[in-house]
Structures are given as structure tokens and as C-alpha cells.
Amino acid sequence: AQSVTQLDSHVSVSEGTPVLLRCNYSSSYSPSLFWYVQHPNKGLQLLLKYTSAATLVKGINGFEAEFKKSETSFHLTKPSAHMSDAAEYFCVVSEGSNYQLIWGAGTKLIIKP
Amino acid sequence: NAGVMQNPRHLVRRRGQEARLRCSPMKGHSHVYWYRQLPEEGLKFMVYLQKENIIDESGMPKERFSAEFPKEGPSILRIQQVVRGDSAAYFCASSIGNGNLGNYGYTFGSGTRLTVV
């Protein structure tokens, strides 16, 4: 069965410093992995997705994530945080052609001035 | 392209009333998915519909919840006799294909936030 664990419910960083949001997954088959961002009272925006191509995936707004099969991880990073990055981030997994998305509980990213 | 449109954005209902949530998929998309986000949680799959057909409703509560996607018009998620535990954000997504996310991916709407008082 698929599952997603986001290891931190809240992450706080200073503006201009690196961001690391951690995600571990469990999947029986080759998974597709996604990161979505949700700004307060807004919809969901796809940041990036991994679908068995390059293991280092670049997304929008300077974010990237690395698929590490041996560690079953898909951590999200950004070299330098911006105030506009403050939001909730969700790690999501899907197996094969399965249309059901399995969501992590989310990580709230707080940016300190 | 207007994207996936959900309305209303916010809905307040008293316990026992009915809630109707609407979702208009992106132009050209014929597959619709509903997800529910309870407070402090990730989204949970509810139902997958194509035009006039329910493909998978395994995530729908057995009672009071129903969904449809008629030939014409938006998809509707209906909750009868709402209770406080139904308070959540309900998101709709659409896709052009049969949900193979590697090829098609999802586009989500902005959600409807239901509050039951």
C-alpha cells in the first residue's frame, strides 16, 4: 500500500537561507511523486513531478526535488527562501497509472524576515 | 482557458441542511476527481467521474454523500443533512485522459470551503 510521510509539520527559515522539506514514501511499484503548494485560502499548485525520468527534478519558483529510491525519499529544496514561499507544501505519491493521489499531511513553511 | 472552476468558494450551512458543491472542469477535460481536505490533514480521494458515469467512489462516505457529472453542466458533489464533521475544504481536479498522471497530470480548482454551524 502506498503512503506518504512528511517528517515536519512546520519548518521555519530566515529569508535568503536554504529550504529543506522532507518527504518519505512507501510504494510497492514504481511511483510517481509530486510536490504541491497551497497558499492560504488558495488552490493547489503543482511545483514539480517525478515520473521515472531524471532523479533530480526542477520545478517552478526555484524549487527542486531529488528522488532517492534507496532511501524512499523525495525531499524538496530551494537554495534561498523568499517571503512569498510561505505556504503549505504537500508531498504526493501515485503508483503506475493509478489515478488516486495519496497525500502527505503537509508541511507549513514559515519565512522569517 | 479558465482552468478548473469551483463554486462557491465558501459555503456555510446549518446542521441538517444540504450542501451542493460545483466543479466545472477545464475545457476539453472529461475526467473529474473530488478530494476532501480535513483541517490539518492532506487531501483524501473521494470519487472519480467521467461524463454520466461514476468510475470509482471508493473514497465516498456510504451515507449522505453523492456525486454526479452530467452530460451537460458541471460536476456536483452533494452532501445531505450536513454535520459538523463535514466541515472541510473540497477540491475538484480534472484531467484530459484516464488519469494516468505520468502523462496527463491533474489541474486542481481553488476549492470550496464548507463550514457547518
Nearest CA among A63, A60, A82, A79 for reference residue A23? A63
- Label residues A55-89 b or e (16+ Cβ within 10 Å = b): eebebeeebbbebeeeeebbbbebeebeeebbbbb
Mutate to test the interface with A, among B46, B48, B101, B114 (most CBs of A within 10 A): B101
State pLDDT tens for residues B64-117: 999 999 999 999 999 999 999 999 999 999 988 765 554 556 788 999 999 999
Q: A-chain residues within 8 Å CB-CB of B111? A: 43-44
Which residue in B43, B102, B113 is closest to A103 by CB distance?
A: B43
Q: What is the pLDDT of residues A26-60, one digit of tens each?
A: 987 778 899 999 988 777 888 998 877 788 999 99
> Residue B4, SS3?
coil
Closest CA to B10 of A46, A63, A42: A42
Per-residue pLDDT, B1: 52
Instruction: Give the pLDDT score at A104.
Output: 94
Q: How many angstroms separate the CA atoms of B33 and A100, rounded?
A: 9
Q: Please tell me the distance from the alpha carbon of residue B109 to that of residue B88, in angstroms, as a whole number.
A: 15
